[in-house]
Amino acid sequence: MPDYSTSLKKYMPEAAAPVISQWINDTGCRFKVTRSRNSKLGDYRAPFKGSSHQITVNHDLNPYSFLITTVHEFAHLKTYQEHKNKVKPHGNEWKENFKMLMEPFLNRAIFPADIIQAIAQYLNNPAASSCTDINLYRSLKRYDTLQTRAVHLEDLPINSCFQLENGRKFQKMEKLRKRYRCIELHTQKVYLFHPIAEVFPSED
């Protein structure tokens, strides 16, 4: 049985690597570390035409984000094993599996205290992504080491301009309940942005 711990500990806390290695072996999952994707941190694909389960996780996440994303995707795998496609992707079945799979890591002194506290709150009602839980997202971001010019949208003044990584430019307007109304400068179309969306300040 292959031991993937040596490779995995490059991306996640060392104490977690043997557990994830065991999960990969137990499920026959094809586990891939992939390039950075703006739209998602990780992905699960169910078996298709004889293929195995596949999980991909972005390579540039900090170790704690990488581990939580990995557990998130294994919860999808476990839910598929139990229910196939008969339940909602992030329904109660997935939430229960995510809570159960996270448990071993919460008892091994793997996470710093602030992340443990944020995870405990998040586990009350796990969402589709850890990024949608502002408290957990902020806790995880403290441990990022990559330097970036990006700032959180909520930190920019109202009416200021910003751009996305793909070059599209917007003006930040007022907050509507949980999101900011923003106008794309080129098309004048209105979009709603999450307060902790990462954007780049612009002079335009």
* Per-residue pLDDT of the chain in tens (204 residues, 90 and over written 9): 889 999 999 999 999 999 999 999 999 999 999 998 766 889 999 998 889 999 999 998 999 999 999 999 999 999 999 999 999 988 889 989 999 999 989 887 899 999 988 888 888 877 655 555 677 888 888 888 766 677 888 889 999 999 998 889 999 999 998 889 999 999 999 999 888 788 889 876
Pairing state between β 30-34 and 54-58:
parallel
The residues, any chain, with a CB within 8 Å of residue 92's CB and separated by 6 or more, are none
Q: Please give the residue range of the domain that contains residue 94.
A: 5-141
Query: What DSSP element (H or E) covers 75?
Result: helix 63-83
What pLDDT is recorded for position 181?
95
* φ and ψ of 171, to 5 deg: -115, 130
CATH number of the structural domain spanning residue 175: 2.30.30.30
Q: 160 and 117 share a domain?
A: no
Nearest to 36 by CA among 65, 3, 4: 65
146: in domain = no
Q: Are residues 192 and 128 in the same domain?
A: no
Tell me, yes or no, whether 134 lies in a domain.
Answer: yes
Closest CA to 82 of 94, 72, 100: 94
In the numeric block, the tokens 């949980």 are attached to 178
**Residues 130, 186 within the same domain:** no
Q: Let me know whether 195 and 109 are in one domain.
A: no
Where do the H-state alpha helices sit in 85-188? Answer: 92-106, 113-122, 134-141
Structural domain contains residue 197: yes
pLDDT at position 195: 85
Give φ, ψ of 196 to 5 degrees.
-100, 20
What pLDDT does residue 47 have? 93
Overall domain count for the chain: 2
Residues in the chain: 204
Same domain, 163 and 121: no
